[in-house]
């Protein structure tokens, strides 16, 4: 007697329909709005684009933005690894609270974070008052920008490294210790090669997040050209001056850099997965 085989139906729509909806959704929210930047930036010609995107004030803002973001990401590379290590390897009272605090910059509006930092690091703040005695001023200086960027980008490193540490087999450390390796040698030769791809990815994510930060920075620093003006502030200033094409030109430069960073991050993640499988 012949057997009839019924094709198993998926609960989800077919590939064609799913792909169509996905592309339509991404086009409406991402592709079309971003593509208009190219059109608007070139609406007044190539010379205007070059003059706006690479003016002295724009170059100074790029230098400050990328420099502060790189410094913040470097600090978080070490601090984030330390925080992730403590959360994974140690049990202590209040661990759940500390773990939740790591995600606070994700949930907290950046403006609220900026106000909190300005209050603490101000001349009369808990920390700022002590720094002022040593002649260190945080508010209205590039130091404040770096602190704000460290605050908002720390979770990216912690949450990227933490799962990798959780998956590491404790027997690796026990085997290295039984062979006479010190703790530092065990970390450097056994553990760090596994952690490094995730740490590099998290650091790059932190850098990419920091270069686009605006809300927390405006409360802790001023908007002085060539001194404390970051690129998002310059874009807002150009819009306030009704120079839409100039603002779009600067925004386009940031878009290209951000897209290049995303491609780099995706390549890092692919390399990390391939390395772990190998």
pLDDT of residue 111: 87
More confident residue, 38 or 238: 238
Residue 17 lies in a domain: no
How far is Cα 99 from Cα 56, in angstroms, rounded to an integer?
Answer: 43
More confident residue, 174 or 162: 162
Residue 180 lies in a domain: no
Put residue 45 in one of left, alpha, beta given phi > 0 → left and psi -120 to 50 → alpha.
Answer: left
| DSSP letter assigned to residue 218 | G
More confident residue, 38 or 246: 246
Question: Could you report the per-residue pLDDT of 201-250, keeping only the tens digit for each?
Answer: 899 899 989 998 888 898 888 888 888 899 999 999 998 888 888 899 99
In this predicted structure, the answer to whether residue 10 has a pLDDT above a threshold of 70 is no
Residue 172 lies in a domain: no
Residue 2 lies in a domain: no
More confident residue, 97 or 177: 97
Residue 15 lies in a domain: no
- In this structure, the number of other CB atoms found within 10 A of the CB of residue 151 comes to 23
What total number of domains does the chain contain?
Answer: 1
Residue 227 lies in a domain: yes
| DSSP letter assigned to residue 125 | S
Q: Which of 78-87, 110-119, 143-152, 183-192 has the lowest mean pLDDT?
A: 183-192
Calculate mean pLDDT across residues 182-202.
Answer: 81
Q: At what angle do helices 142-167 and 110-121 cross, to 10 degrees?
A: 120
In this predicted structure, the answer to whether residue 83 has a pLDDT above a threshold of 60 is yes
In this predicted structure, the answer to whether residue 67 has a pLDDT above a threshold of 90 is yes
Q: What is the CATH number of the domain that holds 116?
A: 1.10.3720.10
In this predicted structure, the answer to whether residue 277 has a pLDDT above a threshold of 80 is no
What is the pTM (predicted TM-score) of this model?
0.84
In this predicted structure, the answer to whether residue 93 has a pLDDT above a threshold of 70 is yes
| Domain of residue 67, residue span | 45-80+90-161+197-277
Question: Could you report the per-residue pLDDT of 142-159, keeping only the tens digit for each?
Answer: 999 999 999 999 999 999
Question: Could you report the per-residue pLDDT of 252-268, keeping only the tens digit for each?
Answer: 999 888 888 888 888 87
Which residue is listed with tokens 């772990």?
276
| CB-count burial class (<10 Å; 0-12, 13-18, 19+) for 228 | buried
pLDDT of residue 26: 85
Q: What angle do CA 21, 23, 29 make, to 5 degrees?
A: 100
pLDDT of residue 21: 83
Q: Specify the DSSP element, H or E, that contains 84.
A: helix 56-89
Calculate mean pLDDT across residues 110-117.
Answer: 88
Give the DSSP letter string of 22-79. Answer: HHHHHIIIIIHHHHHHHHHHTTT-HHHHHHHHTSHHHHHHHHHHHHHHHHHHHHHHHH
pLDDT of residue 194: 82
pLDDT of residue 275: 67
Residue 122 lies in a domain: yes
Of all residues in the chain, the percent with pLDDT exceeding 70 is: 88
pLDDT of residue 57: 93
pLDDT of residue 14: 65
Residue 31 lies in a domain: no
């Amino acid at each position: 007697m012949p057997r009839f085989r019924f094709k198993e139906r998926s609960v989800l729509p077919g590939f064609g329909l799913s792909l169509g909806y996905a592309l339509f959704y991404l086009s409406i929210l991402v592709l079309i709005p971003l593509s208009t930047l190219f059109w608007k930036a070139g609406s007044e010609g190539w010379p205007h684009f070059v003059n706006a995107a690479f003016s002295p004030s724009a170059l100074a803002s790029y230098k400050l933005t990328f420099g502060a973001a790189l410094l913040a990401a470097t600090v978080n590379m070490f601090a984030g690894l330390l925080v992730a290590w403590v959360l994974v390897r140690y049990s202590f009272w209040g661990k759940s609270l500390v773990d939740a605090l790591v995600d606070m910059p994700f949930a907290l509006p950046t403006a609220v974070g900026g106000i909190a930092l300005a209050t603490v690091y101000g001349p009369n703040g808990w920390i700022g008052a002590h720094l002022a005695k040593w002649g260190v001023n945080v508010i209205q200086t590039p130091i404040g920008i770096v602190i704000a960027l460290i605050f908002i980008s720390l979770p990216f490193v912690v949450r990227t490294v933490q799962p990798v540490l959780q998956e590491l087999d404790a027997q690796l450390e026990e085997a290295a210790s039984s062979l006479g390796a010190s703790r530092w040698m065990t970390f450097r030769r056994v553990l760090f090669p596994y952690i490094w791809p995730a740490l590099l990815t998290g650091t790059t994510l932190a850098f990419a997040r920091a270069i686009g930060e605006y809300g927390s920075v405006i409360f802790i620093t001023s908007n002085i050209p060539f001194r404390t003006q970051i690129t998002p502030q310059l874009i807002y200033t150009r819009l306030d001056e009704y120079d839409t094409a100039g603002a779009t030109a600067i925004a386009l430069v940031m878009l290209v850099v951000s897209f290049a960073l995303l491609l780099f991050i995706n390549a890092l993640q692919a390399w990390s997965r391939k390395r772990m499988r190998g």
